[in-house]
Structure 1
Amino acid sequence: MKNLIFVILFYTCFNTISFAQNSSAGSLAAAKAFLATLDKEQLAIINYPYESEERSNWYFIPKERNGLWLKSMTDVQKAAAMNLLKSTLSEQGQEKAIAIIQLEIILKELENIPNSDRRNPLKYYFTIFGKPDAKSFWGWRVEGHHLSLNFTSENNKIVSGTPLFMGNNPAIVPSGEQKGYQILKNECNFAFELLNSFDEKQLKKAIASPVAPYDMFTLNSKQFGRLPEEGILYTDMTKEQQIKLMQIVSLYVKNYPFGFADEFMNKIEKAGLDKLRFVWMGEKQYGGKGHYYRIQNDVLLIEYDNTQNNANHVHTVVRDFTNDFGEDMLRRHYALEHKK
C-alpha cells in the first residue's frame, strides 16, 4: 500500500522524484530577512508571543486582522514578505496563494467597488509568533480573504502546517478578459470524477445529503471534533477509485514544501487508509448548484464547499485532528521540559 501512495505522490503530483528533508530553514531565513526591513513600530504590530491566543485566531473573510498588512509596507518590505509566503509553500502552493491574492482585483471589478478596500490584494496580513530561531518554537501566519496559512517550526523543521485554507470567489470567472479562469480547478474536477465513477450501491454510501451545507462544517474553529462517520470508505472502492481518492488527497498535501508534505502523507497513511472516508453532499453534476465533499480519517480532514454565489464560490481547508497549530508538538515539548 505504501508503494501505491509513493507512486501517486511522487509521479502524479510531483512529476519527478526529489527526496528532500523536512526543513524550515528557508522560512527562517525569509522571516529574519523580512523582520530586518521593519521599524520598531512595525515590529510591535507583527510580533506576538508564541503562546499567544492570537496564534489560533484565524479566519478567511475580508476583515481587518492583527498583524502587518501589505498595504502598510514599503516595496522592499512587500518583496520580503512575499518571499516568506513563497518559502512557506511548494511551487504549486505558491502559485495558488498568489493567484488567490490577485483574484481580489477581478472580484473588485465584478462587484464594481473601485474605491473600496474590501477587495484589495494588499489586504493580506503577516504575523510572526515568537522569535524565529532554528532551535526553538516559532510560528508564522499569512492571512487575508480566502487565504490562511498557519505554520509552526521547531528545531528547524516544520512541525505543523494546519489549518491551511484556500478559497476562490469567483470559483470560475464569469466574464471579462479572464472569463473561465479557475484557480482550484482540480480540487473540483477530481472529486466529480471520483463521484461519477461510483455505482448505485457506492453512491448510496457516499452521498450523505442531497443538499450541500452553506459552508464548511468546521468554519474557522480553533478546536474541532471528528465529523460524522458517514460516506464511503476507502475499502469500499475499487483500486482505480482508491487511486482517484488519493489523487485528491495528494493534490491538497502537495501545497506544502516537499519534506513536510512527505511526512504529512506518511502520517495520514499510518492513521489508516482503510479508515479514509469520502463524503459528498449536494448536486452530483457541476453547474450552478451547491456541492460539498470531505475526506477524513483519524489524522486528516479536508473540506471543500461550493454553495455561495450560485455555487461559484469555493472554500477549502486542510486540518490535522492531532496537531492543528502545532499544539500536539508544543504539549510534548512542555512535557519533556518538565521532566528535566
Structure 2
Amino acid sequence: MKYFILVLLSTILTGAAHAHPDHAETGMQHEAAAMAAAAADFLVTLDEDQRSSVLFDLSDTEAREGWSNLPTTMAPRSGLQIATLNDTQRIALHRLLARGLSSEGYGDAMHIMTLETYLRAGVEAAIAERGEDLSDEDRERATSRMEANDPENYWVRIFGDPASGTWSLVLDGHHLAVTATVVEGRIAFTPVFLGNNPQTIQTGTYAGRRSLQHELDRVADLMASLETEQMDELVQSDDTRDSARFAGPDWVPDMEAAPVGLSAADLNAEQQIMLTYAIREFIGTATMAAADAQMARIEADGLDNIMLAWWGDYTDLSRRFMLRITGPSLHIDFTRTGREDRPNHFHIVIRDPSNEYGSDWLRTHYEEAHAEE
C-alpha cells in the first residue's frame, strides 16, 4: 500500500504531461501565444532607438548566448537596460516576464534582482569603513562595483519576431539569466541561471527572508535518505568545485565523458520520488506546460540515464557543496558557495543538452522552411 501511495504521489507531482502527454503540448501553445502577445505589447511601448537596442536577429547566437552570472563591471551586457525604461514600459516588460516564467520563476527572479540592494549597501559600508585608507584606484573600482549592484541593472533582448511564432527572449544580469525560445508553439526554457547573495538575509526588516530555499530543502531531504553504500557512489570529493565557471554558457561539461556518481536507478522508490520532487523544483522556473513537457522528456530518458554526483561536505548542507544531476535531457549544477566561514550564497545552472536554446526544434524548423523553397 505504501508503494502504491508513493507511485500515486509521483504521478500527481509529475503533472499532466505524465498522464496525458499531449496536454503539455496544448498548454504550451496557449502559453506561447500569451507570451507573443505580451512581447508585442512591450515592443509597442518602445521608441525607435529602444526597439533597435532590444531586437536581435534570431540567428545571432553570440548575443543569445551572451548571458552571464557576473556583475556588469566584469561582463558588460547588450540589449535594453531596465533602468532606462519609463513606468509604462516597465509594466509591459513585467507582464512579458510574468507570462514567460512560472509564478515561482517570476518570484525568484524579482527577489534575486532585489538582493542587489543588499550587495550595494555592503560595498558602500566597506568604502565608508576604509575611509582615507582606501587608495583612489581602489575607491574608483569599489564605487563602480557599488553602482553596478542595482536592481535595475538587468538587460532584456528579444530575438526574431514574436508574431512569427518562432523567437527568443533573454533577460540577464548579476546572478540571474532566464531564457525562453519559442518554436511553433513549443517553449524551451534553458539555459537558466539562478543565484543569490545573501541566500538568507541576516539583519534588518527583512531578516530571515530567503531565496531558492525550496531547492535546498528538496536536496536535503534526498541526501538525508541515502544509505552508506549509496553515498559511496554519490560523493566524488570532499572539496567543492570552483563555481566561477558557472559564469556563462561556456561552463557546460563534456557530455561525451563517462558519467560519474550514483545512478537514479539505484535509488529506492521513495528516494526516486524525492529526486522527482527536486527536479521539479529546479525546472519550476518555466511555465507550467513547458515544465511538464520537460519532465516528460526526463522521465522518457529512463532512470538508468540519470546520474547524481556530489562534491563537498554531505553531512552539513550549511557548508560549501555542489550537487550535479545529469541526463540526456537535463543538466543541473547546484552549489553553495561564498566565504568558507559564511557560505550564504547559491549558484544554480539548469541546462538541456538535447535542446539547448531550443536548438533541436530550431534545426527542424529551418530544415522544413528550406524544404519548402
Q: Does the TM-score normalized on the shorter chain lie above 0.5? A: yes
Q: Distance in 1 between matches of 2:189 and 2:70?
A: 20
Q: Distance in 2 between matches of 1:128 and 1:320?
A: 21
Structure 1 gaps of 5+ residues are 12-17
Give the structure-2-normalised TM-score. 0.83
- Kept in 2: contact 1:150–1:163 (CA 8 A): yes
Give the structure-1-normalised TM-score. 0.91
> Match of 1:307, SS?
strand
Q: Distance in 2 between matches of 1:77 and 1:26?
A: 18
Q: Distance in 2 between matches of 1:297 and 1:39?
A: 44
Q: Distance in 1 between matches of 2:245 and 2:293?
A: 26
> Match of 2:194, SS?
strand
Structure 1 residues 292-331: aligned runs within 5 Å: 292-310=322-340, 311-331=343-363
Q: Distance in 1 between matches of 2:216 and 2:275?
A: 12
> Match of 1:112, SS?
helix
Q: Distance in 2 between matches of 1:187 and 1:107?
A: 22
Deviation at 1:71, TM superposition (A): 0.6
Q: Distance in 1 between matches of 2:89 and 2:361?
A: 31
Q: Which amino acid aligns with 1:181?
A: R
For 1:130, the equivalent position in structure 2 comes to: 160
Quick one: which of 259, 264, 283 aligns to 1:253?
Answer: 283
Structure 1 residues 146-157: aligned runs within 5 Å: 146-157=175-186
Q: Distance in 2 between matches of 1:150 and 1:233?
A: 29
Quick one: which of 7, 15, 39 aligns to 1:31?
Answer: 39
For 2:133, the equivalent position in structure 1 comes to: none
Structure 1 residues 168-317: aligned runs within 5 Å: 168-215=196-243, 219-222=247-250, 224-226=253-255, 229-286=259-316, 289-310=319-340, 311-317=343-349
Deviation at 1:8, TM superposition (A): 2.1
Q: Distance in 1 between matches of 2:286 and 2:244?
A: 21
Deviation at 1:10, TM superposition (A): 3.8
Deviation at 1:4, TM superposition (A): 6.0
Deviation at 1:62, TM superposition (A): 1.6
Larger CA deviation: 119-128 vs 216-225 = 216-225
How far does the alpha carbon of each residue in 1:267-321 deviate from its partner, in whole angstroms, 9 at most, with x for none?
Answer: 1111112321111110124465311101111110111011223321111011000
Q: Distance in 2 between matches of 1:2 and 1:129?
A: 41
Deviation at 1:164, TM superposition (A): 1.1
Q: Distance in 1 between matches of 2:317 and 2:266?
A: 28
- Kept in 2: contact 1:49–1:130 (CA 8 A): yes
Q: Distance in 1 between matches of 2:282 and 2:317?
A: 23
> Match of 2:215, SS?
helix
RMSD: 2.3
For 1:21, the equivalent position in structure 2 comes to: 27
Q: Please tell me whether Structure 1 or Structure 2 has the larger radius of gyration of its CA atoms.
A: 2
For 1:105, the equivalent position in structure 2 comes to: 117
- Kept in 2: contact 1:213–1:307 (CA 8 A): no
> Match of 2:193, SS?
strand
Deviation at 1:187, TM superposition (A): 1.1
Q: Where is the helix percentage greater, Structure 1 or Structure 2?
A: 2
For 1:91, the equivalent position in structure 2 comes to: 103
Q: Which amino acid aligns with 2:66?
A: N
- Kept in 1: contact 2:81–2:153 (CA 8 A): yes
Larger CA deviation: 119-128 vs 308-317 = 308-317
Q: Distance in 2 between matches of 1:219 and 1:229?
A: 23
Q: Which amino acid aligns with 2:202?
A: P
> Match of 1:292, SS?
strand
Q: Which amino acid aligns with 1:126?
A: V
> Match of 1:338, SS?
helix
Return closer, same or farther for 1:8/1:156 CA change in 2, 3 Å cut-off. Answer: closer
Quick one: which of 42, 52, 58 aligns to 1:44?
Answer: 52
> Match of 1:110, SS?
helix
Q: Distance in 2 between matches of 1:309 and 1:150?
A: 29
Deviation at 1:92, TM superposition (A): 1.3
Q: Distance in 1 between matches of 2:27 and 2:322?
A: 34
> Match of 2:51, SS?
helix
Q: Distance in 2 between matches of 1:153 and 1:118?
A: 31
Quick one: which of 172, 194, 208 aligns to 1:143?
Answer: 172
Return closer, same or farther for 1:211/1:153 CA change in 2, 3 Å cut-off. Answer: same
- Kept in 2: contact 1:225–1:321 (CA 8 A): no
For 1:15, the equivalent position in structure 2 comes to: none
Is 1:67–2:97 an aligned residue pair? no
Q: Distance in 1 between matches of 2:111 and 2:371?
A: 47
Q: Distance in 1 between matches of 2:238 and 2:183?
A: 44
Structure 2 gaps of 5+ residues are 1-5, 17-22, 128-142
Return closer, same or farther for 1:256/1:210 CA change in 2, 3 Å cut-off. Answer: same
For 1:338, the equivalent position in structure 2 comes to: 370
For 1:9, the equivalent position in structure 2 comes to: 14
